[in-house]
C-alpha cells in the first residue's frame, strides 16, 4: 500500500492505493464488464504506461509517487479523512 498525507480541497486528508500502478487504467479508461462494474485485474491486460488521461497536467505516475492523477483519475486509489479507516477498492 502507498499512503500519502495530502491537502485536498483545502482539507488534510490521506490518499492511499494498493501500489499496483502497472494495473491502473484510470476511471475513464479501465475496461468495464457492464455500465456499473470494472473488469477485474484477471480479466484485463496490463494497463498502458500512459492511458492518455491527465489531471492538472499530471499523468499516470511511473515512480509510484502519488500525484494529481492518482487523486482524481486512478481507480485503485481513494482519499480518506485523517482518522478514517483505509479500505481500498479490490480489483484483484
> Tell me: the pLDDT tens digits for 14-61?
999 999 999 999 998 999 887 778 899 999 989 999 999 999 999 999
Top-confidence residue, 66 or 92? 66
Q: What Rg do the C-alpha atoms of the chain give, in angstroms?
A: 13
pLDDT band, very low/low/confident/very high, at 74 (cuts 50, 70, 90)? very high
Per-residue pLDDT, 86: 96
> How far, CA to CA in Å, does 30 sit from each of 19, 37, 38, 80, 83?
16, 10, 7, 22, 30
Q: Is 14 helix (H, G, I), strand (E, B) or coil?
A: strand
pTM of the model: 0.88
Q: Please give the DSSP secondary-structure letter assigned to residue 60.
A: -
Amino acid at each position: 500500500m502507498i499512503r500519502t498525507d495530502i491537502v485536498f480541497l483545502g482539507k488534510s486528508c490521506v490518499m492511499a492505493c494498493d501500489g499496483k500502478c502497472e494495473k491502473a487504467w484510470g476511471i475513464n479508461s479501465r475496461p468495464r464488464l457492464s455500465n456499473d462494474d470494472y473488469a477485474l485485474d484477471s480479466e484485463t491486460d496490463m494497463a498502458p504506461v500512459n492511458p492518455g488521461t491527465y489531471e492538472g497536467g499530471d499523468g499516470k505516475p511511473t515512480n509510484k509517487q502519488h500525484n494529481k492523477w492518482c487523486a482524481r483519475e486512478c481507480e485503485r486509489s481513494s482519499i480518506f479523512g485523517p482518522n478514517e479507516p483505509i479500505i481500498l477498492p479490490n480489483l484483484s
